[in-house]
Amino acid sequence: MFPQRFAPLLFGLILSGLMSLLVSGIATWRAAGFGESYVSLWLGAWLTAWMVAFPTVLVVAPLTRKLVGLLIRKGD
């Protein structure tokens, strides 16, 4: 297992991987349909999307947590 200090990186890695997998799969299906090249197109799109999504999540997640903190009433 990983030490606790790696939790934000692992969270970002897993979240960005799953979200980019799902979104690129849907986008590939909408653009190209379920042909025989679907899987290779999807994997290419997913890897490209993940390379952008992972660092984006690492930058955006702390900002999002702060924004959520501002939007939530304290004491509820």
Query: In whole angstroms, what is the distance from residue 58 CA to residue 71 CA?
Result: 21
pLDDT over 90 at 76, yes or no? no
Q: Burial, 34: exposed, middle or buried (Cβ in 10 Å; 0-12, 13-18, 19+)? A: exposed
**What is the value of pTM for the model shown?**
0.83
Q: Domain ranges in the chain?
A: 17-54
Average pLDDT over residues 48-61: 96
What's the rounded Cα separation, in Å, for the pair 9 and 12?
A: 5
> CA–CA separation, 21 vs 56, rounded Å?
15
Give me the pLDDT at residue 2, please.
94
Helix/strand/coil percentages in the chain, nearest 5: 85, 0, 15
The Cα–Cα gap between 63 and 24 comes to 24
Question: With 90 as the cut, is the pLDDT of residue 32 above it?
Answer: yes
* pLDDT for residue 74: 84
